[in-house]
Chains A and B, each alone.
Chain A
Amino acid sequence: MSSLPRGQRFDPRVLARTALFTATGVLWFFPVVWLIGKTFTPNAEILRSAARILPVRPTLENIVTVLQRWPFLRWFQNSLTVTAGALVVTTVVSLLAAFAFARLRWRGRDTVFLLFLASMFIPWEINAIPLYFVANALGLLNTHAGIFLPIAAMPVGMFLLRQFFINIPQDLEDAARMDGCRSFGVLFRIFVPMSIPAIGALIIWVFIFAWNEFFWSLISLQRSRMLTLPIGLKTIMGAQNIEYGNLFASSLLIMIPSLLVFLSLRRRIIRGISISGAIK
């Protein structure tokens, strides 16, 4: 890497470490490489030569078969809907609530805040049973809003933003209020532009959570055309008479969006995780 000082680049100890950590990295990444190799291997060959990693005669048949048999595009759209809904709702309600806790004065503020803080410990999964009946009563079962609204009810985003808001200088707010800004103006003209790193971290956190959400979606989404990608993949795993090649190909197809997002936003994602990690 070019960040190493000139004199150290060919230091034998540096090269030895490079070899060691390259080997570790290759081993860590091996399951993904193996998955890619098997995806392009004909079924008969997958069964015959388990010890091989790369195909002798590469083929697209597995990918073509699964794309014909299952509605991947539909599931992808559903995942997008759930994720986009979670992003929009979480961001808006968290911004408003964080502002109320960081900058507005009202009776009972600290008590309510403590109550919300304690609710961080309510585990997402254990709420699934009662949530099932709540969603049913509200007509939200088997809908995408029924998935993303509960995600937006988690307090993580609000804490993240509040933490950021309380450090914004009071002078800035006062100046804006002198210019005639009401609270909404202060929030959206001053606080939002100044909190881009925190909002970015929030977006990354919600994106990863919503895109991969499993437990609640498994319970709530029952109709095949409503499924998201993780639940679709579970359906494929449980299908009758499924060929191994189809399993490999489906996993790879479902991995592609995450892979593309990661390759294009690697730095930002890692930085965002470092910021939100201080809270979560």
Chain B
Amino acid sequence: MQLRRLSHRHEWLVFILPYAVLWLLFLFGPLLFGFIISLHRWDPLRGNEFIGVRNYIGLMSSSRFLNSFLVTWRFVLFVIPGIVLVGLAAALILQFGRFHGRSAFESILFFPYLLNVSIISIIWALLHDPDVGIIRPLFIRLGVSAPPLLSSSFWALPMIAVATIWWLAGYRMIIFRAALASIPHELYEVARLDGSGPIRTFFAITLPLLRPSLLFALVITTVGGMRTFGQVILMTGGGPGTSSEVLALHMYRLGFDFLDFGRAAAVGFVLFLMIFAVSMGLVRILRLTGDLQ
């Protein structure tokens, strides 16, 4: 009887424990452990040596790290407007456009999201391929003499962004569509009775009510863009040179090519701080708008 009451009072432990163990072992633990690694010259074979923040100082004077920092932001700047605008446009078309084949349109735009990053990268790398790709013949037919875009240090990154937009814009479309569908229909009725045209209605009703979803999408795509890895390692390997080497790839290279795990963990932690700061900053903006309304 005593035992039974005890187990009843502590039953929350049974419910929370399985997840808490996983969380500690595979999510929060590694984050802390990563920070500890980043304070060491980490060499599992010859012994680890505590070196304080020297890995971080080393990063600040590494031109390759600073390059990957800039490349990451450049990539984010290409990819956010692409994903958000294409996703929003497609959602608006689906919500308000009257035309045949709407569900086919929705399916086609969404489908690439279900593919894995290897397939996305291989398709786009082959489309750009100078020997078998279709982009080069297309340019020649249009009379444009362009270099192979993926081997150009200027064009490689934007082209990875295009592949990423093709991959992920359909997901944003679905999210925006759900947000659009939740806007009360009566508001549009009122606007119509007032004689508002579609453009005015968009700026007076749709856009303000969509604002939380838009800001949220901004947070998610920024964070996603900063973590980008697969498309880059598969499409260009960070090249030509290091012109498309993003932070996640730089971290991977430091760790698993150069076996400098301390330095790699430091890059990871910097990336975490960046992502955390950006998310929190944008979440605050988001809440602020909530208060204003």
Q: Once the chains bind, are A131 and B98 in contact (CB under 8 Å)?
A: no
Is B142 in the interface zone, CB < 8 Å from A?
Answer: no
CB distance from B61 to the nearest CB of A (A): 21
Does the CB pair B22–A149 fall under 8 Å?
Answer: yes
Instruction: Output the nearest chain A residue to B223 by Cβ-Cβ distance.
Output: A123
Judge if A195 is at the interface, Cβ distance under 8 Å.
no
Cβ–Cβ contact A244 & B114, under 8 A? no
A251 at the interface (CB under 8 A from B): yes
Instruction: List CB contacts (< 8 Å) of A2-48 with chain B.
Output: 3-4, 8-9, 11, 14-15, 17-18, 20-22, 24-25, 28-29, 31-32, 34-35, 38, 46-47
Is the pair A126, B26 in contact by a Cβ cutoff of 8 Å?
A: no
B115 interface residue, CB < 8 Å from A? yes
Chain B: CB-nearest residue to A118: B276
Contact A244 B126 (CB under 8 A): yes
B191-226: CB near A (< 8 Å → 1, else 0) gives 000000000000000000000000000001001001
- Greatest chain B CB density within 10 A among A18, A20, A126, A261 is at A126
CB proximity of A86 to chain B, nearest CB, Å: 11
Decide: A25 and B272 in contact? CB cutoff 8 A.
no
Given contacts A214-B230, A262-B114, A266-B107, whether A183 and B27 have CB atoms under 8 Å apart is: no
Closest residue on chain A to residue B127 by CB atoms? A31
A280 to B271, CA, bound (A): 20
Q: Mark interface residues in B9-25 (1 if CB within 8 Å of A CB, else 0).
A: 00110111011101101
Q: A280 to B223, alpha carbons, bound, how many Å?
A: 12
| Chain A minimum-CB-distance residue to B22 | A153
Which residues of B in the span 145-200 have a Cβ within 8 Å of any Cβ on A? 166, 171, 174-175, 177-178
- A4 B98 Cβ-Cβ under 8 A: yes
Query: Does A21 lie within 8 Å of B116, measured CB to CB?
Result: no
Known: A104-B11, A126-B271, A274-B174. A233 touches B27 (CB 8 A): no
Residues B201-259 near A (CB distance < 8 A) = 220, 223, 226-227, 229-230, 234, 248, 251-252, 255-256
Is B131 in contact with A273, judged by CB distance below 8 angstroms? Answer: no
Q: Which residue of chain B has the shortest Cβ distance to A8 in the bound complex?
A: B98
Contact of B118 among A154, A208, A234, A269 (CB under 8 A): A234
Chain B residues, CB < 8 A from A130: 29-31, 33-34, 37, 265, 268
Contact partner of B271 (CB less than 8 A), chosen from A14, A47, A123, is A123
Contact between A96 and B15, CB atoms less than 8 A apart: yes
Bound: A124/B79 CA distance, A: 19
Query: Is A51 in contact with B137, judged by CB distance below 8 angstroms?
Result: yes
State whether B175 touches A134 (Cβ < 8 A).
Answer: no
Q: Which residues of B contact A55 (CB under 8 A)?
A: none
CB-CB under 8 A from B1, the residues of chain A are none
Q: Does A273 lie within 8 Å of B265, measured CB to CB?
A: no
B285 to chain A, nearest CB (A): 16
Q: Which residues of A sit under 8 angstroms from B131, Cβ to Cβ?
A: 47, 50, 244
B51 at the interface (CB under 8 A from A): no
We find that the number of chain B residues with CB closer than 8 angstroms to chain A is 88
CA distance A34 to B133 in the complex (A): 10
Contacts of A261 in B (CB 8 A): 114
A window 246-267: CB within 8 A of B: 247-248, 250-251, 254-255, 258-259, 261-262, 266
Q: Nearest Cβ distance between residue A189 and chain B, in whole angstroms?
A: 16
A127 touches B27 (CB 8 A): yes
B116 and A230 contacting across the interface, CB-CB below 8 Å: yes
**Taking the nearest CB of chain B, how far is it from the CB of A214, in angstroms?**
5
What residue in chain A is nearest B11 (Cβ atoms)?
A183
Known: A31-B123, A50-B131, A274-B174. A122 touches B31 (CB 8 A): yes
Nearest B residue to A136, CB-CB: B44
Contacts of B137 on A, CB cut-off 8 Å? 50-51
Asked whether B19 lies within 8 Å of A97 as measured between CB atoms, the reply is: yes
Contact among A100, A134, A155, A269 with B16 in the assembled complex (CB-CB below 8 Å): A100
Residue of A nearest to B278 (CB): A121
Q: Are A123 and B272 neighbours in the complex by a CB distance under 8 Å?
A: yes
Task: Supply 28 A–B pairs (Cβ within 8 Å), ascending by A.
Answer: A3-B102, A9-B100, A18-B99, A38-B132, A93-B19, A97-B15, A99-B15, A116-B23, A123-B223, A124-B227, A126-B272, A127-B31, A128-B251, A129-B255, A129-B265, A133-B44, A134-B30, A153-B27, A154-B27, A208-B114, A214-B118, A214-B229, A230-B116, A231-B118, A248-B126, A262-B114, A266-B107, A277-B175
